[in-house]
A and B are shown apart, each in its own frame.
Chain A
């Protein structure tokens, strides 16, 4: 989705500007020879990574690590996930650092193609291989008594964590449920795999889970196929599957985007409720600022593969600092707030294959200063919880702030 648009010109509809910046031909033209060379070098890099991934027995000490803060459930530390495509290396996630505290809901917002989903897939180690690879960085996951670095774990160990410790709710429930198996089978699978119980116990547990997510006739739904259910019901089933092993972390990747507003309200309420019941954390990925404001305790704003601002929900909504965050909030009409003309952020996201070396937002920013031509801005700690990556706020930096990225 990110890397297919090699031919797209950079800026949209800026009239004269476009004529100057983009040459008349295709700006991102690659000759067959160049493309072959890229493919060759990619194949080499990918082979190295795959070799590392295929190692079956890794000593536990290799991937055991220590959390920076014991109260966090997950810490992303300078994570880089790249896609090696024939058109070049697409840096889908390019140095993401943030953490998810225990029992909290962290909302990740951004436009499509900004790396929200790839971040969550990296955490599950489900990035499309072989072209997609975690290149560097660490994802520390708190298992309670110990902590593991997920990027270094062998896949066989990872399988024990997936579903049991970290569960995922996907955007489109129809495509993530298997159409040829009954709901019951797909639910039982979780308990049978992770809990070593008998089939009867698994069934009892599954029906209990269906009840928990507010399905009125759990016995009937247990025997249904996915196509017999409506969108909202399917999403409930997905949530039931995700919850059935009582995970420490639930990743909800656009859980309500495919649903109607009234059903969305039901599902959001349900998510809030079950999160408290199992006492887990939620990583909520969405592009809807309304959903974030309602659900999240902390917000992470991403743009073009990088985190540009993080803070508590109050901070991000009441005092947004990064020009992109401000623009994003102004460009969405809000029910009950009347404006004559919507603010629009000019242009569009830069091509992920050749990112500029200055701030990625510079070309679209209306508050650009001279310093923006320099290297990509570091994080500036505005308050203990609020960080922003923008040169405009350099004088607001605290003494200990400014993590190197």
Chain B
């Protein structure tokens, strides 16, 4: 698994280098400007992120890997949006693009009403303390050469949130609120277990008093009993600091537990978006249905009728035409193979991209 991750990261790093070229390549589409929702902390409109996949002799890209393809949603203040999907569906790329850790190919990201893609680097850096990220693997995201007090305090010093003399006091306070005893201050990451490392990562992100945190699979690498501790910590911190989360995970039960709204992604596109209760109780998109029915339930008496999808997820480099899901869909119609369905609202903010519902 780690190898695959590494490859993915390499690919991404490679792609980021060349991303400047892509921005020039794609012509801007004219989108009718809607007014921004004042309740929304973050609003994403038609966001795309394409990585060059194949290049010709002179380095000009011939085809693109559409990791995120025309995704729109918004998050209200103090709520949690869960993003679910299989591996390779663009969940992580979406999270990183929203934070401008890699530039978007197309589309707009409004954070507190500011289009962050239009900002200059210095302006963006001033905004960074407000948006933070917690990574999946707590083993590789902490520098092995720094004691944890320094790791947590580094960004605080960098952003000059307070005079240097007060930093230590402040870091100890953050550590305490994340459940790390004060004598851990001078220890090194290798001395800790996975759960404690994840607490350190959370403390690092929260030390900057952010408004918005992207949690990229924060509990996937942890054991069940430790998972519960971390999820509870994340929820406590949300209540205490009024945080807004994007919670990216492939574990549907965790997402259901923590999210207010859920977005389901498939091959770079969002296929369904809505309130958690709506999506889990009456999923509309065939993919969501199949995904939810595939989750094993820890109850030997309940054998849910399972919808088994045939085949694997297609390659995102030449994604299927029309609806991307039509190759595996049980309700596939002729129109699905040709026309991509529109992402439409079917009542109370429950949005689906599927032809099954657009006909009537």
Residue from A13, A292, A318, A335 whose CB has the most chain B CB atoms within 10 Å: A335
Q: Are A269 and B181 in contact (CB under 8 A)?
A: no
* B-side contacts of A292, CB under 8 Å: 298
User: Known: A12-B229, A13-B229. Is A262-B300 also a contact (CB below 8 A)?
Assistant: no
Q: Are A344 and B232 in contact (CB under 8 A)?
A: yes
* B-side contacts of A346, CB under 8 Å: 229
Within 8 A of B (CB), among A203-240: 230, 232-233
* Among B228, B231, B253, contact of A345 (Cβ-Cβ < 8 Å): B228
B195 located at the interface, meaning its Cβ lies under 8 Å from any Cβ of chain A in the complex? yes
Within 8 A of A (CB), among B267-292: 280, 290-292
User: Known: A262-B309, A287-B223, A345-B225. Is A335-B252 also a contact (CB below 8 A)?
Assistant: yes
**Distance in angstroms between the alpha carbons of A263 and B88 in the assembled complex:** 13
* Among A268, A287, A335, A344, contact of B228 (Cβ-Cβ < 8 Å): A344
A131 located at the interface, meaning its Cβ lies under 8 Å from any Cβ of chain B in the complex? no
Across the two chains, which residue of chain A brings its CB closest to B4?
A174
**Distance in angstroms between the alpha carbons of A210 and B10 in the assembled complex:** 33
User: Known: A232-B312, A261-B294, A348-B193. Is A111-B225 also a contact (CB below 8 A)?
Assistant: yes
Minimal beta-carbon separation of B258 from chain A (angstroms): 8
User: Known: A15-B179, A111-B223. Is A335-B256 also a contact (CB below 8 A)?
Assistant: yes
Minimal beta-carbon separation of A106 from chain B (angstroms): 14
**Distance in angstroms between the alpha carbons of A288 and B181 in the assembled complex:** 31
Chain A 314-354 near chain B by CB (<8 Å), digits 1 or 0:
10011000000001110111111011011111101000000
Q: Are B253 and A260 in contact (CB under 8 A)?
A: no
Q: Are A8 and B192 in contact (CB under 8 A)?
A: yes
Q: Are A314 and B183 in contact (CB under 8 A)?
A: no
**Distance in angstroms between the alpha carbons of A258 and B180 in the assembled complex:** 31
User: Known: A293-B298, A331-B224. Is A13-B179 also a contact (CB below 8 A)?
Assistant: yes
* Among A26, A232, A233, A290, contact of B296 (Cβ-Cβ < 8 Å): A290
Q: Are A265 and B308 in contact (CB under 8 A)?
A: yes
Across the two chains, which residue of chain A brings its CB closest to B309?
A262
Chain B 212-243 near chain A by CB (<8 Å), digits 1 or 0:
00000000000111111101100100000000
Interface size on B, residues (CB 8 A): 52
Q: Are A261 and B297 in contact (CB under 8 A)?
A: no
**Distance in angstroms between the alpha carbons of A335 and B297 in the assembled complex:** 8
Across the two chains, which residue of chain B brings its CB closest to A25?
B183
Q: Are A8 and B296 in contact (CB under 8 A)?
A: no
Minimal beta-carbon separation of A175 from chain B (angstroms): 8
* Among A9, A112, A290, contact of B298 (Cβ-Cβ < 8 Å): A290
B257 located at the interface, meaning its Cβ lies under 8 Å from any Cβ of chain A in the complex? yes
**Distance in angstroms between the alpha carbons of A314 and B166 in the assembled complex:** 57
* Among A262, A288, A341, contact of B232 (Cβ-Cβ < 8 Å): A341
Across the two chains, which residue of chain A brings its CB closest to B199?
A13
Q: Are B298 and A329 in contact (CB under 8 A)?
A: yes
**How many interface residues does chain A have, given as a range?**
35 or more
Q: Are A348 and B195 in contact (CB under 8 A)?
A: yes
Across the two chains, which residue of chain B brings its CB closest to A233?
B312
B342 located at the interface, meaning its Cβ lies under 8 Å from any Cβ of chain A in the complex? no
Q: Are A262 and B86 in contact (CB under 8 A)?
A: yes
* B-side contacts of A175, CB under 8 Å: 3
Q: Are A339 and B257 in contact (CB under 8 A)?
A: yes
A264 located at the interface, meaning its Cβ lies under 8 Å from any Cβ of chain B in the complex? yes
Q: Are A328 and B224 in contact (CB under 8 A)?
A: yes
Chain B 186-220 near chain A by CB (<8 Å), digits 1 or 0:
00001111011001000000000000000000000
A18 located at the interface, meaning its Cβ lies under 8 Å from any Cβ of chain B in the complex? yes
Minimal beta-carbon separation of B36 from chain A (angstroms): 32
Residue from A15, A293, A333, A346 whose CB has the most chain B CB atoms within 10 Å: A333
Minimal beta-carbon separation of B3 from chain A (angstroms): 7
B295 located at the interface, meaning its Cβ lies under 8 Å from any Cβ of chain A in the complex? yes
Q: Are B297 and A334 in contact (CB under 8 A)?
A: yes
* A-side contacts of B195, CB under 8 Å: 12, 348
Within 8 A of B (CB), among A269-307: 269, 287-294
B62 located at the interface, meaning its Cβ lies under 8 Å from any Cβ of chain A in the complex? no
**Distance in angstroms between the alpha carbons of A346 and B86 in the assembled complex:** 31
Across the two chains, which residue of chain A brings its CB closest to B277?
A338
A24 located at the interface, meaning its Cβ lies under 8 Å from any Cβ of chain B in the complex? yes
* A-side contacts of B293, CB under 8 Å: 265
* A-side contacts of B87, CB under 8 Å: 260
* B-side contacts of A266, CB under 8 Å: 308-309
* B-side contacts of A294, CB under 8 Å: 296-297, 300, 303
The 10 closest A-B pairs by CB, nearest first: A290-B296, A13-B179, A331-B228, A333-B257, A289-B298, A265-B294, A344-B228, A260-B86, A111-B223, A342-B228
7 A-B residue pairs with Cβ-Cβ distance under 8 Å, sorted by A, are: A8-B191, A263-B86, A293-B296, A317-B300, A332-B224, A336-B256, A336-B297
Q: Which residues of B contact A (CB under 8 A)?
A: 1, 3-4, 86-87, 176, 179-181, 183, 190-193, 195-196, 199, 223-229, 231-232, 235, 250, 252-254, 256-257, 280, 290-301, 303, 306, 308-309, 312-313
Q: Name 6 extra pairs, CB < 8 A, besides A19-B183, A345-B228.
A: A261-B291, A262-B86, A331-B228, A333-B231, A342-B231, A348-B193
